[in-house]
Chain A
Amino acid sequence: MTKHYTCPGCGATVEYDPADEKLHCPFCKKSYSPEERARLIGEATQDNASTLPSEVKDRLRESNTIPMHVLQCSACGAELAMNHVETSSFCPYCGNATVATDRLVDYLKPEYIIPFKITKEEAEKRIRESMSKGFFVPKKIKNFETERLRGIYIPYWLVDLYHSDEQFWSYKPRGDDGRRYSYRMGDCYFKHLTMEASETFNDDYSKKLEPYDLKELKPFDAAYLSGFYSDRFDVNRKRAEEQAKERATDLYNAEVYETIPGKRIEKEWENTRNIPIRAEYALLPVWFLTFRYKDKPFTTMVNGQTGKVVGAVPYIKARTTALFALFAALFIPMFSVLFAFLHRILVLLLTESDDLEAIGDGLLFYVAFLVMLFGWTWTKAAKDLRKMRESIALTCAYSTHRLVKERQDH
């Protein structure tokens, strides 16, 4: 069953507008908040899902497969195909915004939603602004032609989890040869840890959309879906909780790592405890913009609440090479002269000493210093380049492009 959210005044389909957070009628030009519309039309804002028995809800939460559905548009009667996770779309014939209410009822209604705050125009403007600033962004990308710009509510599990850890870290103190230990014991209560619940959407890419301001979570109302696409979860709660345990451990360790003094830090031992408390189902807003560059699809995203732009694009190779040559031309002569003088001073100091052991130690120290210096520059450069390549690969991943493309146009 599909549902159109109709105008209490004229009966036309209304669509949610993030600009004023109201449902707008394109015909009589009236606007209503979702609660106001429901009250005027005499409709309950909560549907049957909340009254389902808890054992049925649990079974549905664990369910991981739903077949493809062909639904009938309640406005014009045309057939409307939705993939196995879509819960709202647009009718291909009459173009009306359509919400598949039976899916929301049968397969667990989301508990929360963050409505879109960023409008379609603003999302595109933000992406264009970000790209126009880039010195290494090709002109064709700066003036990209939008292939699709879609607002999609992405399913998330908001996991509450208690994490505690007792750890021994070892490190090398500065100016000391031996190794020392650090002992850390602490905990963290993760409230609403956002675990993206779509198989198609890459987790590494979706994490970059964070943070959402979860203080603005609203109780779910299907009226917010009108005018946007939305999907249901296909990662069940149990799996989300398992992933949340790993994520909590990573987040906790990253913060503790920062408190360890010295260098060459390694975790030696740990006793971790994770207690998942609850997982709530929510829909969070994302704008997806796709464009093509050299026949490859690129999908950049905008957090539909905060406006954070996420994505990476290829760079102009000629400009990058020119900048590298410029830096190299500057640094090579500068450091060559510097090191030549340093070597002379070093030899003078070492030859003045009669102690062969001290000379050996001095040389060893200098070689270690050079190895560290080379490591610092080359490994960090290689890490940055690899990270950049990975970010570009995520932006032009076919799976994300499919997530946006395989939906009904309107």
Chain B
Amino acid sequence: MSMAYWISGIVVGVIFGLGLALRLTAYCVMKSNDYGDTSGSCSDFGEGIFLVVEDDNMKTREFNQNAKEILNKRREDLLERETGSKTGNKTGGATVM
């Protein structure tokens, strides 16, 4: 094999090897010296997220009007369950952004 292959191989190997070595070292140090580096997620504060629509692979942005109606109905039900009001205003603390 000619020298050129070796030189190019070593250049790429050194850059990638050093990067990978640094990454693994940083991971090991974090595991050893950083405790409890997590915080709460959506599911820790209630029932978690609920997605009415999950459309992928769209070439253009297309809104889904039916989903808006479903979401509005869901919001009214949720707020009625939690506050006794469909807008959440009965408690006096709610503000709509």
Which A residues contact B (CB, under 8 angstroms)?
Answer: 130, 133-137, 160, 162, 164, 166, 168, 173, 178, 180-194, 207-211, 245, 251-252, 254-256, 259-261, 268-269, 272-279, 300, 308-315, 320, 323-324, 327-328, 330-344, 347, 370, 373-374, 377-378, 380-381, 384-385, 387-388, 391-392
Contact = CB atoms under 8 A, between A and B. Distances in A.
B70 to A, nearest CB: 8
Interface residues of B, number: 73
A335 B21 CA distance: 12
Contacts of A300: 35
Nearest to B46: A191
A189 B46 contact: yes
A388 B33 contact: yes
A189 B51 CA distance: 12
The prevalent SS among residues of A at the interface is mixed
A209 B39 CA distance: 7
A328 B21 contact: yes
B45 A190 contact: yes
A378 B19 contact: yes
Interface of B: 1, 5-6, 8-10, 12-30, 32-42, 44-64, 67-68, 71, 74-75, 78-79, 82-83, 88, 91, 93-97
B33 A310 contact: no
Contact of B38 (A162, A208, A323, A334): A208
A185 B67 contact: yes
Given A186-B50, A275-B94, A347-B5, 17 more contacts: A135-B28, A164-B71, A168-B61, A185-B64, A185-B68, A188-B50, A208-B36, A278-B83, A314-B33, A333-B13, A336-B17, A340-B1, A377-B23, A380-B23, A381-B26, A387-B37, A388-B26
B50 A187 contact: yes
List the 7 closest pairs (A to B, CB-CB), nearest first: A340-B9, A336-B13, A377-B19, A327-B21, A331-B17, A332-B17, A210-B40
A210 B39 contact: yes
A315 B64 contact: no
B31 to A, nearest CB: 8
A136 B28 contact: yes
A347 B1 CA distance: 12
Contact of B32 (A134, A185, A274): A134
A255 B37 contact: no
Of the candidates B36, B54, B64, B75, the one having the most CB atoms from chain A within 10 angstroms of its own CB is B36
A162 B79 contact: yes
Contact of A335 (B16, B78, B83): B16
Nearest to A324: B25
